Amino acid sequence: MSDELEAAGALATAGMVAGRVDGGAAPQGGSHHGACANCGATLTGAFCQACGQPAHVHRSLLHLTEEMLHGVLHFDTKGWRTLPLLVFRPGLLTRRYIDGQRQRHVSPLALFLFTVFMMFFVFSLTTHAPQSVSTGSAGDRAEVAEALEKADAAVASAQAKLGRVQGQADEAGDAQDELTDARVEQKALRAALQAMDAVAAGASAASAGQGSVSSAPVWVNPLRGKSPNTGHPRLDAAIQRAVDNPELTLYKLKNTAYKFSFMLVPISLPFLWLMFFWRRGIAVYDHAVFALYSLSFMSLLFIAIALLSTVHASGVAIALVLVVPPLHMAMQLRETYRLGWFSTAWRTLALLTVTAIVFALFLLFIVAVTMS
């Protein structure tokens, strides 16, 4: 349950960030008079001309709830105009945004933030970790226990730091982030230690003939006890930690992936530029808009596949993976860059290759960050 709550918190944060990026909903009403509550400037309209804050400041619990729901759902009239185009006419949506028709549609960055975090939220609800623990040795348990003690100390230190900097916005934000990371580490290590103890207790009971082990299948790591030897001590140590505790490693990889999902865009841009560098009138900005909208759609596609997996519709999910991405890429390329059929065809094949390369580079990046 705590994993789902953590994912829901990340989703709410992403929705509110997306709302800020996209500008939020404009307050209704005509002109306002008086002084701005934020900077004291004289008001002449619905917004302060000096700092941009809305003239009317709500002070009701109902409005606070409304803001939270808008941040999480983040679908006003812009959203309902944008989503159908994103699915069925992605090239038209991208072309309109590049050409300056932006008031009617959700910005690509806001849509990307929301859909990516929504994807990880759905994944957290539809995937379950297998019972894949290994009994390990006394030395392994001692290592995990020592790491847990350090994590407990890090949480206590972060809590104390947060208490000292209360009232200082920048320092408090950094301290809160530090505390969140320390609690994630603490939680994962505690779960790993409990799993090792539970499996060890079951194995002891079985060997002593005092009872039967739980009927739930326990997967024993086949790589346990095999020391890696790549010639790089730091890499060997990182691989050994992953082999000894795969569940903790996967948990860290998942968290790193959604924290750094924005890196997919800068990794993609050089490849997109190479596909069009000889054509005039196409800027890197155009490629960024293209990439953000394309990644937003792919996030929605993965959400659909995850939901289909819960009803055992694996055949439909496989068909979606094989057919939809190339078709959507071709549609978006043709209308965004105003291409002919031949140019669209070879660039679609190139883009499929680029997608595989970008995904591989992104995986290498998150593995490097996680293992460092």
Residues 62, 216: Cα–Cα separation, whole Å: 47
Residues 230, 223: Cα–Cα separation, whole Å: 15
**pLDDT tens digits, 281-311:** 899 999 999 999 999 999 999 988 888 888 8
Q: Which phi and psi (to 5°) does residue 35 adopt?
A: -110, 145
What integer pLDDT is reported at residue 218 of this predicted model?
A: 47
Residues 56, 47: Cα–Cα separation, whole Å: 8
Residues 297, 90: Cα–Cα separation, whole Å: 9
Residues 290, 94: Cα–Cα separation, whole Å: 6
Between 36 and 83, name the one with better pLDDT: 83
Asked if the model's pLDDT at residue 214 lies above 50, the reply is no
Cβ burial of 247 (10 Å; 0-12, 13-18, 19+) is: middle
Q: Which of 26-35, 64-73, 142-151, 359-368 has the highest mean pLDDT?
A: 359-368
What integer pLDDT is reported at residue 50 of this predicted model?
A: 79
The length of the chain is 372
Amino acid, res. 72: V
Cβ burial of 297 (10 Å; 0-12, 13-18, 19+) is: buried
Average pLDDT score over residue span 231-247: 69
**pLDDT tens digits, 89-123:** 999 999 999 998 888 888 898 889 888 888 888 88
3-state SS, residue 42: strand
Helix 284-310 vs helix 314-336: angle between axes, to the nearest 10 degrees? 160
Q: Residue 229 CA to chain centroid, in angstroms?
A: 33
**pLDDT tens digits, 255-271:** 788 778 888 999 999 99
Residue showing tokens 């009617």: 104
Q: Residue 170 CA to chain centroid, in angstroms?
A: 24
Which of 199-203, 296-300, 339-343 comes out lowest in average pLDDT? 199-203
Helix 108-126 vs helix 2-22: angle between axes, to the nearest 10 degrees? 170
**pLDDT tens digits, 76-93:** 567 788 889 999 999 999
What integer pLDDT is reported at residue 186 of this predicted model?
A: 77
Residues 206, 304: Cα–Cα separation, whole Å: 43
Average pLDDT score over residue span 18-32: 53
Which has the closest alpha carbon to 127: 310, 2, 270, 267? Answer: 310
Per-residue b/e over 167-180, b at no fewer than 16 CB within 10 Å? eeeeebeebeebbe
**pLDDT tens digits, 136-182:** 455 566 777 777 788 888 888 888 887 887 777 667 777 777 887 77
CB atoms within 10 A of CB 106: 28
